Structure 1
Amino acid sequence: MHMKTMKTSVFCVAMVVVQLAYGGSNILVKVALDKGMNQIVFVVYRHLIAMLVLGPFAYVLERKQRPSLSWLMMIKIFVLATLGTTIHLNVYYAGLEYTSPTVASALSNVIPGLTFLMAVSLRYIYIYILL
C-alpha cells in the first residue's frame, strides 16, 4: 500500500471512530437522563472530568506560553465558560431528554452550518475576509 494512501486511510478510520464514540456518548447520556440523572449535575461532572484529564497536559505543555492570570483574564474565562460550553451542554441535554440520540447526533452536525448562517447574517464573515 502506498504511504499517502495509508496515511489517508488512517485519518478516515480516525474520523469514523470519533463519530462512533460521539454516537455512543449520546446513547449513554440518554440512558443516564432516562434513569433520572439531573442534566446540570451531568454537565458539572463532565467539566470536572475534563479538567482532571486535560488540566495536567495543559499545565505541562503550555506553562511557558500562557498569559498571566489577571482579574480581567479570569473574568474572560468565566464568561466564556458560562456562555459557551455550559449553556450549550445544558440546552443540548435538555433536548436529548425529549428526543432520541439519533436526532441529537444529527442536529449536532448542523451546528457549523447554523454558525455560518448566523455569522453571515450578523456580517461577521467580512471581518474574516478582511483579516
Structure 2
Amino acid sequence: MARRYCYNDVAPLIAMVTAVCTNVGVNILFKEATSKGMNQYIFITYSYVVAALVLLPLSFIFPRLFLLGLIGFLAQICAYKGIADSSPTLASAMSNLGPAFTFILAVLFRKIDFTGK
C-alpha cells in the first residue's frame, strides 16, 4: 500500500518540483553566461547536446519525443532571446503561466465540460 502511495502521489510531485527547479537554475545560468559574453545560440546548442545524450535512448522507444524536442527547441530560442533582454526572474514567472494557458486551450477546444454532465 505504501509503495502505491509513493508512485501515485509522491513521485509526480517530486518530478514537478525537480523540473521547475531545473528550469529556474538554467535560466539563471543562461543570464550569467550571456552577460559575460557567451552567444545565446551557443548556450542553446550546449544545452541540447547534453539533453540529447541523456534522452537519446528514449527517442527510440517513444518516437514522438523528436517532434516534442523540435518544438521545445524553437520555444527555447524564443525564451532565451527574451531573457537576454529582461531577467531570469521574469522568465521563471512566465513559465508558471503554462497551466493557465493549458486550461484556456482545454476550454476553447471543449475538453472541459462546465454543464455537469
Q: Tell me whether 1:3 sits opposite 2:10 in the alignment.
A: no
Q: Can you list the C-alpha shifts for 1:57-115, whole angstroms capped at 9, x where unaligned? A: 444xx2xx76xxxxxxxxx95xx82xx22321111001111222111101011133234
- In 2, Cα distance between the equivalents of 1:54 and 1:113? 28
Q: Tell me whether 1:110 sits opposite 2:97 in the alignment.
A: yes
The residue type equivalent to 2:36 in the other structure is: K
- In 1, Cα distance between the equivalents of 2:11 and 2:56? 28
Task: Choose 1 or 2 for highest CA Rg.
Answer: 1
- In 1, Cα distance between the equivalents of 2:36 and 2:72? 24
The residue type equivalent to 1:42 in the other structure is: F
SS of residue in 2 equivalent to 1:37: coil
Q: Which has the higher contact order (CA 8 A, sep 6+)?
A: 1
Alignment of 1:67-106 (within 5 A): 77=67, 81=70, 84-106=71-93
- In 1, Cα distance between the equivalents of 2:89 and 2:30? 12
Q: Tell me whether 1:52 sits opposite 2:53 in the alignment.
A: yes
After TM superposition, the score normalised by the length of structure 2 is 0.66
C-alpha spacing 1:118/1:13, structure 2 compared with 1 (3 Å): closer
Cα RMSD (Å): 3.4
State the percentage of identical aligned residues: 35
After TM superposition, the score normalised by the length of structure 1 is 0.60
Partner of 1:42: 43
